Amino acid sequence: MNWVEKDLQHIWHPCSQMKDYEDLPPIVIDHAQGSCLYDMNGNRYVDVVSSWWCNLLGHCNERVNHAVKAQIDRLEHVIFANFSHTPAINLCSRLSPLLPPGLTKFLFTDNGSSAVEAALKMSLQYHYQTGNPQKTRFMALSNAYHGETVGALSVGGVDLYSRIYKPMLMDIIRVDGPDCYRCPYEKSRDNCQTECFAAAEQALAEYADTVCAFIVEPLVQGAAGMKIYPPGYLKKLRQACTHYHVHLIADEIATGFGRTGKLFACEHASVSPDILCLSKGLTGGYLPMALAVTTQPIYEAFYADYSEGKAFLHSHTYSGNPLACSAANAVLSILQEERILETAAENAKYFRQLINDSLIRHKHVGEIRSIGLINAIELVADRAGKQPFASQRRIGYQIYKKALTKGVLLRPLGDVLYFNPPLTISREEMDFAVRVCRECICDVLE
Ligand SMILES: *Cc1c(COP(=O)(O)O)cnc(C)c1O
């Protein structure tokens, strides 16, 4: 039996209809280097989605590899209650000054969804312990994505992932968020005054008394199709949350670590959240680890004599794993010493131009949106009416399959194709990936 047959005998792959694997069997990867994956048959794939947005500095980066190998011979893991280790201590003391101001206290979890869960619980318990036990609900934007465990799924607004589970989800307050491509106010990016913020303002005015936190993906709603909205919206949200005594939770799990051109997307709006969630790029995409980082005032609401029962009891077995911390420390060193963001900014201009030049005239390209090295191409049936394709046609999926045969991993979000490559992608790789993308769009749609 070959590897593919053995895989299909036992493995239930994530985010997949397994029956699709009948005509697109799993691609068994043997090794990887930089932006490229190599399968067991020696085929190469340029990983322009950073293996689900987590690979930050290329696969098998020499310095990250070295750091993890060195750590594994000293300490692989230790209980993190009462015990600590230098990789975690170094990570937090190095990261704190790089974060939006005021974020000084670090709670470790082991994946993005669990960091979101921790942030939600932390906010609710803060209000409970500071005289507002009635503040128990959460607010979130339409089309939000915050992960897939029950709490995280509850605040998410992508129906595809949550529809079936509604009976087990929390009753949250959903706010119509920005939708710049199909702006209901018919504004363009040039004359936008974030009129759409009125919905959030109104919901806060109505419900703030019972709301503990508003969670948001700063600037880029990733899973919704890389929807990008202006910093002004986030600024207004920060002000309104402060006014209404509601925590702002910034989910930078996808946008953190340079993806939007700044180290953190919040910097574009010069705002600090009350709680910041980080994962994905945190370890360079090497090991699962996440953080919920918060402020001194929130921390202090939990700090009391044991008998008061105010501790935050949230824990995960692998909290603060030293191997993951060693990878994260290496990532920080590389970001600081190798001019990664500066080079990525230069390359972002090139990439954006290249994608625009190659695709903007295509009659099924509705919009191209870009921030940092993230570029998304929304395909539509009718460009003038911004009408989507019927979802049963699975246009994005057809293009994805075609691109795989040509050596590019371009896994779309519905009919939104996107590039969110390692920050270290080369111009040759960009040229190749965009050429393949264009060919595949033409093959499938003509
Ligand atoms: C990926 C992601 C999550 C969930 O992280 P997991 O590690 O997959 O649980 C949460 N929020 C955002 C914005 C993400 O992109």
DSSP per-residue string spanning 91-131: HHHHHGGGSSTTEEEEEEESSHHHHHHHHHHHHHHHHHHTT
- Residue 366: which CATH number? 3.90.1150.10
pLDDT band at 15 (very low <50, low <70, confident <90, very high): very high
Let me know whether 270 and 125 are in one domain: yes
pTM of the model as a whole: 0.98
Phi-psi sector, 307: left (phi>0), alpha (psi -120 to 50), beta: alpha
330 pLDDT tier (thresholds 50, 70, 90)? very high
Domain boundary residue among 337, 357, 391? 337
Residue range of the domain that includes 20: 3-61+339-445
Candidates 104, 83, 84; CA nearest to 92 is 104
Domain end residue (candidates: 281, 308, 337): 337
Residue 446: what pLDDT?
86
Tell me the per-residue pLDDT of 225-268, one tens digit each, with 9 for 90 and over.
999 999 999 999 999 999 999 999 999 999 999 999 999 999 99
Residue 342: the pLDDT is 98
Q: Which residues line the pocket of ligand 1, CB cutoff 6 A?
A: 111-113, 116, 145-147, 217, 222, 251, 253-254, 279
368 pLDDT tier (thresholds 50, 70, 90) = very high
**Whether the predicted pLDDT of 1 surpasses 90:** no
Q: Specify the ligand 1 atom closest to the Cα of 54.
A: 1
Residue 264 CA to ligand 1 center (angstroms) comes to 15
pLDDT (0 to 100) of residue 51: 98
Q: In the predicted model, is pLDDT for residue 143 greater than 90? A: yes
- What value does the mean pLDDT of the chain take? 98
CA of 23 to the centre of ligand 1 (A): 28
CATH of the domain at 154: 3.40.640.10
**In a shared domain, residues 333 and 408:** no
DSSP state of 293: E
Write out pLDDT tens, residues 107-137.
Answer: 999 999 999 999 999 999 999 999 999 999 9
pLDDT at 269 over 80: yes
Query: Which whole number is the average pLDDT over 164-181?
Result: 97
Task: Report pLDDT digits (tens) over 302-326.
Answer: 999 999 999 999 999 999 999 999 9
Q: Do residue 44 and residue 93 come from a single domain?
A: no
Token reading at 42: 């020696």
